[in-house]
Structure 1
Amino acid sequence: MPHVITRHCVGTCDTVCVEACPVECIHGPIPHATLRAVPAAERGVRFPGVQLYIDPDECIDCGACLGQCPVSAIHMDCDVPGELRDDIEVNARFFGRKVR
């Protein structure tokens, strides 16, 4: 079961989860270096609606990213809260995939 980044990441885009991931499966529409160059407090304004995503085919379910997220946006796909379940599909679609 892959991990999923939920919409709670929108505007946060803290890349500490990227650094923790041993297989580099966390990506987004903005390059990581560009995100890191912007102060955390400004990311929501500079990159409205932007979040990071976990590639469901590359994720090895190690959980290294879980405790790193400052907004608790990352969950195992089976543990995503009900009101955020559609974020599983959003993550998969970002990578051009269907939910497994």
Structure 2
Amino acid sequence: MTHVVGESCIGCKYTDCVSVCPVDCFHEGPNFLVIDPEVCIDCGVCVAECPVEAIYDEKALPQAQKEYVELNARLATRWPVIAHSTEPLPTADEWADKPDKRAHLVEMV
């Protein structure tokens, strides 16, 4: 099993999780982060660091977000690795509690 970044990250892109990852498994897109399931060692240290609670153990991912397993795996092959924390998106606080953000995910880099 691996960890998965879910919908709550869209529009926020807080990177507190990146700074604690021992294996650099995070990849960065325009308005979302993903975890590479081939690199993640399932340590879970990233989970507690996410201020919007967007990271799940794959087994605990809400049913409505099951598509994010495939989405993380696919986008991790297209987006660059992010190994250091950066500033969140300027509108992160506005997006943090918005529901139904999937349509706003920008997949192109």
What TM-score, normalized to structure 2? 0.68
Note the residue ranges of structure 2 that are not aligned, 5 or more in a row. 78-109
- TM-fit CA distance, 1:95: 2.5
1:54 to 35, 40, 45: 35
| Deviation of the 1:64 alpha carbon | 0.7
The 5 Å alignment of 1:1-100 reads 1-30=1-30, 50-96=31-77
Distance 1:93 1:24 in 2: 17
**Per residue, is there more helix in 1 or in 2?**
1
CA drift of 1:29 comes to 2.1
Q: Which residue in 2 is equivalent to 1:40?
A: none
Equivalent pairs counted in the alignment come to: 78
List 4+ stretches of structure 1 deviating above 6 A: none
The runs of 5 or more residues in structure 1 that have no matched partner are 31-49
CA distance in 2, matches of 1:52, 1:95: 9
Percent of aligned pairs with the same residue? 43
SS at match of 2:12: coil
TM-score with structure 1 setting the length: 0.73
CA RMSD of aligned residues (A): 1.4
In structure 2, distance between residues paired with 1:94 and 1:53: 7
CA distance in 1 between partners of 2:18 and 2:76 (Å): 16
What residue identity is the alignment partner of 1:76?
A: D
